[in-house]
Amino acid sequence: MIRIRRVLALPVFFIFLLFAFTGLSEGSVVVIDGLHLLSIVDPFLSPDYTAYLKEAIPADQAALIEQKIGPITAFKWSRNIYDTDDNLINKLSQVLADASQSSLAQKQPFVILTHSWGTVLAYLALSKNPDIKVDKFISLGSPLDSMTGFIKSFTEIYVSDVNVLPNARVWNNYWIECDPISGVIPAATHNIELQANDKLTRSQHKAELTRSQYRDEFITCHEKYYSDSTVWNQILADVLDSFDPTRGVLIGANGKKIYFQTYADGGAICIISANAKTIISCAGNIKNGVFDGGDIPTGGKTQGLKITFSSSTQAGYVLTDIASNTTESSKLTVDSPAEINLTTDGIWQATPDTLQMFYFQRYTGGGAILLLSRDAVNCEVYYDPAATANLFSGLDVYNLGTHVSFVFATASGGQVSRTTSAGIKTAWNVNLVNSAK
């Protein structure tokens, strides 16, 4: 992780096109049910427009999710597998696009929760529409990469290859060994194996079961994700964790500005700027919406910073000086969220000069920032108000005439060149070593 000691000048923050916080903020949770099993053998099965996944959420937990994130919407479809066509995917895509745009505009998270064939529908919509931005995609008992050959081969008729979804910050896939429809999806961010009861372990006594008993056991296990309260509570807690802090620029009631960013490896970095000459940079971890970190140069032994996010737009921080045991605190509001781009945003490392690191981040309000650091003590700050998908071309914020060009050649590799006002040019090949989350 980059370590920054020198100033992140205050003008950097003013040159971003900031979003104003207006009114009540709402994100969105879209849930998608699986198919009706009888439709596999009966293409003409009557439509079953249920919402079993949404209805399984207890009232108190549904109220908490709506309070923390936003409304829960069930995408209702016929649940007939043979209705999986372009028309259905286009309808779902429109629902997801509307939810994504609204959540981005309101600076709140967007979560998709699917069960069984609902994961296939969501995957098709997301893979065909990269502009749909999802904070967390949670799949339950998905057949996308089923452990059962027949089911996998049937799914491949609709999805031949399952690839990473760059428009989803996190994809958590839940599966159970006794559920033959489920399985590990390599393209997912995390695969979480749920524990089944002993009586539901297929491998131990499958041969002892009659066909009807095995069918009943399979159905029970495939529904376990939302029918077993212990398992379901774990999954709903994952939904609630989706309100992780908005990455980007936050402004305090005391006038200070904070840059906050989380990373794929679980770490986070925070830079708090009081003026154009001094900053405090802190690194640490975030859990359940709370960042707890210490200042970088001394490993957190002189100053500690805690940021508690009450929502994805509101937070508060407490900065403690360990030696004097004095604190300062202030409320925070998000000004400009970080953009979702897992293939460009994050920490890049030069090769073969591995001490040279580059932090890169785009913002939804426009513009991009690049921090260049070599010795974990000093850094250089560059800004480009018109960065494109493949090119960053910025000047140092101190107006000293130094220019940096960053060309993104591939999803994980690029070239950076730095030219000083005296015409001295340095170039590096770089690789993405830690994606922004």
The CATH number given to whatever domain includes residue 221 is 3.40.50
Round to whole Å and give the CA distance between 210 and 218.
12
| Residue 380 pLDDT greater than 60, yes or no | yes
| Cβ neighbourhood burial of 210 (10 Å; 0-12, 13-18, 19+) | exposed
pLDDT score, position 240? 84
pLDDT of residue 24: 39
230-237: long-range contacts, CB 8 A cutoff, minimum separation 24: 231/194, 232/56, 233/61, 234/194, 235/113, 235/138, 235/140, 235/174, 236/57, 236/61, 236/65
Same-domain check for residues 316 and 228: no
State the first-to-last Cα distance of the chain, in angstroms, to the nearest integer.
14
Rounded (5°) CA angle 92-96-100 = 170
* pLDDT of res. 200: 42
Q: Are 338 and 391 found together in one domain?
A: yes
Instruction: Tell me: pLDDT of 361 over 70.
Output: yes
Q: Which residues pair with 192 in a beta bridge?
A: 174
Q: Has residue 376 got a pLDDT over 60?
A: no
Instruction: Provide the pairing of β-strand 248-252 with 257-262.
Output: antiparallel
Q: What is the pLDDT of residue 430?
A: 95
The whole-angstrom separation of Cα 397 and Cα 206 is 67
Tell me the residue range of the domain where 356 lies: 10-20+244-435
State which of 223, 243, 263 marks the end of a domain: 243
Within-domain flag for 27: no
> Do 392 and 248 have their domain in common?
yes
Residue 218 confidence (pLDDT) above 50: yes
- According to the model, what pLDDT value does residue 97 have? 96
In terms of Cβ atoms closer than 10 Å to its own Cβ (0-12, 13-18, 19+), residue 180 is: buried
117 and 255 co-located in one domain: no
Instruction: For residue 337, tell me if it sits in a domain.
Output: yes
Which pLDDT score, from 0 to 100, does residue 198 have?
42
139 and 166 share one domain: yes
Secondary structure string (H, E, C) spanning 286-298: EECCEEEEEECCC
Question: 381 falls in which pLDDT band (50, 70, 90)?
Answer: confident
Residues 133 and 120 grouped into a single domain = yes
Give bridge partners of residue 120 from the DSSP assignment: none
196 three-class SS: coil
Contacts of 227 (CB under 8 A, 6+ apart): 56, 220
Q: Is residue 26 part of a domain?
A: no
Q: What pLDDT does residue 100 have?
A: 92
Query: End of a domain among 217, 243, 269?
Result: 243
Is 242 within 8 Å of 258 (Cβ atoms)?
Answer: no
Torsion of CA 154, 155, 157, 163, to 10 degrees: -150
The whole-number average pLDDT for the span 253-271 is 77
> Does some domain include residue 5?
no
Share of the chain above pLDDT 90, in %: 40
408 and 263 in a single domain? The answer is yes
Residues ≥6 apart with Cβ < 8 Å to 365? 16, 17, 18, 19, 335, 336, 337
Residues 312, 200, single domain; the answer is no
Spatial distance between the Cα atoms of 119 and 31, rounded to a whole number of angstroms: 10
| 297 lies in the same domain as 205 | no
Name the one residue in this structure whose structure tokens are 């609709």.
Answer: 158
Is residue 4, in this structure, part of any structural domain at all? no
Confidence of residue 245 (pLDDT cuts 50, 70, 90): low
Range scoring the smallest mean pLDDT among 3-7, 60-64, 119-123, 361-365? 3-7
Residue 278 has a pLDDT of 59
State residue 215's pLDDT score. Answer: 55
Confidence of residue 323 (pLDDT cuts 50, 70, 90): confident
- Indicate if the pLDDT at residue 25 is higher than 50: no
Residues 364 and 250 in one domain: yes
**Between these two residues, 204 and 156, which has the higher pLDDT value?**
156
Q: How far is CA 98 from CA 95, 109, 168, 258, 363, in A?
A: 5, 13, 16, 30, 20
What does the block give as tokens for 50? 């249920």
Rounded to 10 deg, the angle between the 86-106 and 117-128 helix axes is 70
State the Cα–Cα distance between residues 217 and 196, nearest whole angstrom: 11
For residue 55, give the amino acid letter: E
Q: What is the DSSP letter of 140?
A: E
Q: Where is pLDDT greater, at 267 or 260? A: 260
Q: Phi and psi for 253 in degrees, rounded to 5?
A: -65, -20
Dist CA 411 CA 158 (whole Å): 26
Question: Are 130 and 187 part of one and the same domain?
Answer: yes
Query: Is position 3 within any domain?
Result: no
Tell me what percent of the residues of the chain surpass a pLDDT of 70: 81
- Asked if residue 21 has pLDDT above 90, the reply is no
Q: What are phi and psi of 228, to 5 degrees?
A: -90, 115
For β-strands 403-408 and 413-419, DSSP reports them as antiparallel
Question: How many domains, in total, are found in the chain?
Answer: 2
Find out whether 244 and 315 touch, Cβ atoms under 8 Å: no
Whole-number Cα distances in Å, 310 to 86, 189, 240, 364: 40, 25, 12, 21
Tell me the whole-structure pTM to 2 decimals: 0.59
Predicted confidence (pLDDT) at residue 10 exceeds the cutoff of 50 = no
What ranges in 178-334 are assigned the alpha helix state H?
202-205, 211-222, 224-227, 229-240
336 shares its domain with 419? yes
Containing 59, the helix (H) or strand (E) segment is: helix 59-68
The stretch 69-86 carries a mean pLDDT of 94
**Which of 243, 266, 281 is a domain's end point?**
243
Please give the average per-residue pLDDT across 365-378, as a whole number: 71
**Residues recorded for the chain:** 437
